Amino acid sequence: LESLVNELTAADTDVLLHAIDAAAGLDSVAPCREQRALQFLAPPPGGDREEVLAVRASVARVMSLARAGRYDQGVALARETLARARELGWQPLVASAQLELGELLWRSGPYDQAKVVLEDAYFEALRSGARETQAVAANELVYVCTNLARFDDARLWARLAEAALAEITDGESLYRSRL
């Protein structure tokens, strides 16, 4: 939220055009309180707490840039953030960074690249128990595959998104409405 507020505070015309979508796209805090979801999530590395927090903040900044329509700036930061997440080796954070990079690539146009990155995010999230990231990655792949005219793949990713949503207690609300 803080990162998005900072982007909107320094907004230009392009950012203002995306302001409502950006605010509406804020993630729910419900998964952070959901015991069932948390039990599947791999714990963060113990000794790197400050770096984990810094990379999470960078992921949030990337998310804000995407929602504000600053795709080129976001892609550069997303690549850097993903490299930092990989160095840490915490799978849920890697999946989250991949998801944001994939979304930015999808929104800026290189759909083939977006597909590869979002598929990596989906499977990284699946391995690490990051169900929300898994569901969102599958959902984004529906759009990417549709843009690539790979309609059978889009239908498959829609089914996988539905299956991932079934694992999220709050799956009946916002995420289901995006499918």
Give the integer Cα–Cα distance in Å for 150 and 138.
14
Over the stretch 25-79, which tens digit does the pLDDT of each residue have?
A: 545 444 444 455 444 455 666 777 899 999 999 999 999 998 889 999 999 999 9
Find the mean pLDDT for residues 126-136: 94
Q: What is the pTM of this model?
A: 0.75
Q: Is the pLDDT of residue 169 over 70?
A: no
**CA Rg, the chain, in Å?**
16
Task: List Cα–Cα distances, 138 to 34, 42, 83, in angstroms.
Answer: 21, 20, 22
Q: At what angle do helices 49-67 and 71-88 cross, to 10 degrees?
A: 160
Contact 121, 98 (CB under 8 A): yes
Task: Say if residues 53 and 88 touch (Cβ distance below 8 Å).
Answer: no
Q: What is the pLDDT of residues 89-115, one digit of tens each?
A: 999 999 999 999 999 999 998 999 999
The length of the chain, given as a count of residues = 179
